[in-house]
Amino acid sequence: MVQARYNRTQTPSSIKTNTLLIGVGYQLDRGDRGGPVVPPPSRLDNVTQNEITVFLGQTIVNTFDSQSSFAKAVEYRRGLARYVSGTVSYINEGENSALRRNGVAAQLWLERAFFNDALTLGVGAGPYYAIDLSDRGRNVTSEPSRWSGLLTMSASYRISQRWLARVSWNRTVTGYDRDTDVFLAGLGYRF
């Protein structure tokens, strides 16, 4: 499909902006009639039952130098409702010149399955508590908060009835100028 979108932002005391966006997309579910129509939900069970996934990847600190480090994680995922899942994760963001952080996260997810449940797409959000935390660099003045937020987009491909491959993009949102992007790829087991 092709989509065009026009946005106008008008404020009483600042600049006004106009934005024109044009994009190309692929509709994963096909409706009964032509056009970009999402069919009514027909799923009766949860998208996810139980999954455990082991990840490897890279952390990039959102600074001018974009320091990076080796990341790893373990995640348990459980379906809670038809399109809702929950996860508990241990994430090790690695160590570099700007940051050393690892901790535990809990997220709620909106997930959808496509192509006879072979592909899942989801977005999750929740709190992230740092167990081991070191904020490094020239501007360190006080102890950073151990609590952060975690926003994640994830996709999985079911290789077989029990095994899956998953990729995730995690954005750690902090209150102390050490936000990170954690890119992870892993292998999971369904039970």
Domain span holding position 89: 50-190
In-domain check, residue 25: no
Q: What is the pLDDT of residues 110-123, one digit of tens each?
A: 999 988 889 999 99
Mean pLDDT within 34-41: 59
Q: Indicate the number of domains in the chain.
A: 1
Mean pLDDT within 55-80: 94
Mean pLDDT within 15-35: 81
pLDDT at 97 over 90: no
The residues, any chain, with a CB within 8 Å of residue 143's CB and separated by 6 or more, are: 135
Mean pLDDT within 141-165: 89
- The CATH number that applies at residue 108 is 2.40.160.20
In-domain check, residue 38: no
Distance CA 60, CA 94 (A): 10
